[in-house]
Amino acid sequence: MAVGLGPLPAFFPVAGLRLGVACAGIKKPGRRDLVVMELAEGSRVAGIFTTNQFCAAPVTLCRQHLAATAPRYLLINTGNANAGTGAQGMADAQACCAALAAATGVTPEAVLPFSTGVIGEPLPVAKITDGVPRALAALSAEGWEDAANGIMTTDTLPKGASCQFELGGHKVTISGISKGAGMIRPNMATMLGFIATDADIEPQLLQALARELGEQSFNRITVDGDTSTNDACMLLATGQSGAPELTIESPELPAFKAALANIYLTLAHAIVRDGEGATKFITIEVSEAANTQEALDVAYTVAHSPLVKTALFASDPNWGRILAAVGRAGVPELDLEAIEIYLGDVCLVRQGGRAADYSEARGQAVMDQQEITIAIRLRRGQVKETVWTCDFSHDYVTINAEYRT
């Protein structure tokens, strides 16, 4: 059950981008599982990728193609990750790119491949190449909703966000989709994200935005602490809005960046809200840390604790589990008397133990909510970091135990 995740928004088309979807039968017949995105000539693409060293063949090939030429097409398949497949996996990814390139008259390097699904199984190349003409025939600027459905795996709902605003006297659009529900702990979450705008963005700035906004959104979510082999988040800029090129000196950049950051956060939060079996959406705020790393170490230790996550599922205000996680996060020389831990607006821990004004009834009232904030004040400095996660339910175990059956 997705937590607070509603239906898809109305998508604004992005000038210079078309999307097409097909049912290729990669894992299940009749399921939308192949997506093609077509970019206008002159578009620019930036992205961030998984840090898992067993990265999938399409991740490696995508990086190579990005460095070689300007992308014109993105090819996305679900149902098979093409990871842990060795040299054959790379040859298969190349074959899929070549098929799309031949059908569209571009070079294979102008195609960026993305895959998600089961690890370690050969990619069904024939099904994908057979599906390419159908996806191309379906290309439409209005294809966002179909594409959001077409990139899903264990997701229960499609995920998307879209906005339009004035920039320098021109209407600018940002639209995006993401997928992911399990094997989520980005260092870069299994997640994929595609955000597109018709703004014209200078190449170095585009990559800087992809890296910075990805770090503060997709790289701050976790469902289960597992970094996938296939993660990728791409930022596409077609430059078709007519607005002047954005550079680091542009006075319009702060407004554009704020709108783009909201799209990134919305898509990242949607993944956590739809975490496999999730019943609660949890925000973990660590403040007054000495540096970013120790703030994240504390936040992720709490977020990844199975004891904390199962207590959240049970709505059990067992605050000792949170305290224990903070204590084992590896932060040196913590001043235990100074630390404060809050559940919502209820102080759990103060002066090294249970807060004097804490009561089980107050803690229970917060735990009964679907959306909960755990706030930890370290009293060591001025740094604040936020991580978003969810609980662990019976359904999480069931979904992953039966993933291949």
* Proportion of the chain above pLDDT 70, given as a percent: 94
Please state the separation of Cα 102 from the chain's center in Å. Answer: 31
Say whether pLDDT at 314 is over 80.
yes
For the question of whether the overall pTM of this predicted structure is more than 0.95, the answer is no
Strands (E) in 183-337, as ranges, are 192-197, 232-237, 281-289
Distance CA(207)–CA(349), nearest Å, equals 42
pLDDT band for position 54 (cuts 50, 70, 90)? confident
The CA-atom distances, in angstroms, between 241 and each of 40, 140, 169 are: 12, 18, 10
pLDDT band for position 189 (cuts 50, 70, 90)? very low
pLDDT band for position 311 (cuts 50, 70, 90)? very high
Going by the DSSP 8-state scheme, the letter that residue 1 receives in this structure is -
Kindly give, in sequence order, each residue whose CB lies less than 8 Å from that of residue 383, ignoring residues fewer than 6 positions away: 287, 288, 289, 290, 291, 292, 294, 295
Q: Which of 50, 85, 129, 190 is catalytic?
A: 190
The answer to whether the CB of 164 falls within 8 A of the CB of 171 is yes
190 carries an active-site annotation = yes
The CA-atom distances, in angstroms, between 76 and each of 47, 197, 309 are: 15, 19, 32
- Two structure tokens written together for 120: 């370690």
The answer to whether the CB of 172 falls within 8 A of the CB of 256 is yes
CATH for 17-273 is 3.60.70.12
pLDDT band for position 117 (cuts 50, 70, 90)? confident
pLDDT tens, residue by residue, 317-357: 999 999 999 999 999 999 999 999 999 999 999 999 999 99
pLDDT tens, residue by residue, 239-278: 999 999 999 999 999 999 999 999 999 999 999 998 777 8
Q: With residue 19 as reference, give the H or E element that holds it.
A: strand 17-22
281-401 adopts what CATH topology?
Ubiquitin-like (UB roll) (3.10.20)
DSSP string spanning 191-204? -EEEEEE-S-B-HH
* pLDDT for res 394: 78
* pLDDT for res 400: 64
The answer to whether the CB of 343 falls within 8 A of the CB of 325 is no
pLDDT tens, residue by residue, 358-392: 999 999 999 999 999 999 999 999 999 999 999 88
Task: Give exposure, 164-174, as e/b (b: 16+ Cβ within 10 Å).
Answer: beebbeeebbb
- Per-residue pLDDT, averaged over 15-26, amounts to 97
Half-sphere exposure of 382 (CA within 13 A, CB side): 0
Strands (E) in 68-203, as ranges, are 73-80, 111-118, 159-167, 170-179, 192-197
Strands 192-197 and 232-237: parallel
* pLDDT for res 180: 78
Kindly give, in sequence order, each residue whose CB lies less than 8 Å from that of residue 58, ignoring residues fewer than 6 positions away: 82, 93, 113, 114, 115, 230
Q: Would you list the domain boundaries of the chain?
A: 17-273, 281-401
Strands (E) in 137-207, as ranges, are 159-167, 170-179, 192-197
